[in-house]
Structure 1
Amino acid sequence: MAKITIGVPVYNGEATLERSLESLRTQTYRDIEIIVSDNASTDCSAEIAQSFADRDPRFRVVRRKTNVGPVPNFFSLLEMAETDLFMWRADDDWSNAEYIAELKAKFDADGRIRLAGPEAVIVRRDGSIANVNSFVAPWQRLRILRVGHVLMNLNASSIYGLWHKPTLMEILSRTRANYQYIWAWDHMAMLPVILSESVTGSNLAKLYVGQPDAARYSAKEPARIMWEMRGAFRRACFAELWQLDWPLWEKLLLAPYLLRYANVRVYRFWKTVRRHIRQIV
């Protein structure tokens, strides 16, 4: 059995899927299984995925007859995986050939690691680089400052890094009960491994985050829901904090970091205020 499973959810991703899957097929770390879950695409996504499965037994394609929605399709891949190490891959992202090897090396080097994230390279539609979000390891001697540093600097694309699957499953069962929204679920999922200092990263693992021509999924929440999300996210953050086996004084000193984390990871305060004003005038 493979040592690492990569789950690729796709819906109408024919424009970018082949590049994404090819970057997985050519990884230098070979002991992998790639599961592509096609969510009843109306384009050639399923056929593209099947062409990889026909040529490489490490690929497996799940073809849904009806669209179950992006969220169930995304999380179903985690449930399909039978390995202890797992990662998601967006159908419009791709990576360098050493991506998995570099992240797996982080697990091999430190048994405490539960998430190893990449450097995220944001690529414009014309192929130019818009931004590079590197992993900056904490250097501070105090635990509060180290955790605070990672809270403020870990990039969102780390959710597409390499996870210890049992830990991720346990985190999701707990955090999804406390925070039942999809927006910012990735930051909520990463919070426990940040607090436990079991997350790291490698800037030798490059995740290229593409920008498609048009969004396939979009949502514009009313201000009331935005306020609810902010409150729920903040409460869930502090639920994670209070369960830590830390002295009370450390928890209290970390609280300002968590308040800032909650403000910037969901909907920012002033963005929510502006939408509220637009809806009432």
Structure 2
Amino acid sequence: MEHSTLPQVSLGLPVYNGQNFVAEAIRSILEQDFDDFELVITDNASTDRTADICQEFARLDRRIRYVRNERNLGAAANFNLAFTLSRGKYFKWCAHDDVLGAGFLTHCVRALDDDFRHVIAYPRLLGIDENGQPTQYVERVLPDLGGTSPALRFRVMVAAHGWDAAMFGLWRQDALVQTTLHEPYYGSDCALLAEMALLGTFVQAPDAILYSRDHPTRSVRLPSSERLAWQNPDGSAANAFELSRRVRHLVAIVYRHRRIVPLGRTLFHLLAWVLDPLLVARLFLEAVGVVSPQLRSKLRGAGLGALKRIHAVSDRSPG
């Protein structure tokens, strides 16, 4: 089928050393029952066979554009590049290790077409293992926020600490372009989802399925220093400052969109979130790490030990 106009959907697939799974991810995109899309692959200077695999798919299907970075920009910049190069009315980030159900795009496009207030259509997210076999994991579904205010949607998403189904759902391009996009720290996606919640509502497309793969090299399983190097190769490996950077990012977001929601409301919700005792403790540890990374590690280890003892006592308590 020839497309004389811009594609309705753009899919951005940022990848680094993804030879184990990227072919399966691409095949699941090409096998969609929705045809009007482009696939933009941004290869972050992979050193394995990723380039060969992606270039072969691009040679066989004109809907694919393969772009290779001269150096590793970090995951944040590479994710943003995939969006910057896209041309569609709707946009989706694709993980190189995930698999889309055949009707994913059809159902998500329909959900966004049906209501202009929706800025993200998200699927049901089911787990698979490294061999592609189903696991018992089913991601939670957040409450319906369709009739709520932007300030309340922001509060819910800030407290959610991330949500893969929405992160890898289908986004409205004209809303996403108004955002800060990804910043170079691990957890930036949490702030970006909160920002999108200020701009519109999220809707579930229950018949759209995303299979999320769990495997040993998945970013969420890496230690914080390695996660920072994945997001930003030029960052400090000694102290990732993940939480404090997210707080600063969220403050920048609420200021950026102060015409949508008055600063007082969003800052109130942000402060209520930050004052959670566990978050206060994390911020304290990050501050200690500026002076003494060794002391930070000792305090963190002591805190984890105390939590384990508390859980052990509670597990032995009669129910």
Partner of 1:193: 196
Runs (5+) with no aligned partner, structure 1:
none
Change (3 A) 1:243 1:12: same
Matches within 5 A, 1:96-245: 96-125=101-130, 127-138=133-144, 143=149, 148-149=155-156, 152=159, 155-172=163-180, 181-215=184-218, 218-219=226-227, 222=238, 225-226=241-242, 228-229=244-245, 231-236=247-252, 238-239=254-255, 242-245=258-261
The 8 Å contact of residues 11 and 40 in structure 2, kept in 1 or not, is answered as yes
Letter in 1 for 2:255: A
Q: How many residues align?
A: 270
Matches within 5 A, 1:18-57: 18-57=23-62
Letter in 2 for 1:228: S
Change (3 A) 1:201 1:259: farther
The 8 Å contact of residues 135 and 203 in structure 1, kept in 2 or not, is answered as no
2:10 to 5, 14, 27: 5
Change (3 A) 1:45 1:192: same
1:94 to 88, 93, 99: 99
The 2-side partners of 1:50 and 1:247 are apart by: 47
Tell me which moved more, 212-221 or 118-127.
212-221
Letter in 1 for 2:185: I
Tell me which moved more, 105-114 or 238-247.
238-247
Partner of 2:314: none
The 2-side partners of 1:270 and 1:124 are apart by: 34
Tell me which moved more, 125-134 or 50-59.
125-134
Partner of 2:71: 66
Larger radius of gyration: 2
- The 3-state SS of whatever aligns with 1:192 is helix
- The 3-state SS of whatever aligns with 2:113 is helix
The 8 Å contact of residues 145 and 201 in structure 2, kept in 1 or not, is answered as no
The 8 Å contact of residues 44 and 71 in structure 2, kept in 1 or not, is answered as yes
Residue 5 (structure 1) shift: 0.8
Residue 269 (structure 1) shift: 3.7
- The 3-state SS of whatever aligns with 1:37 is strand
Residue 255 (structure 1) shift: 2.9
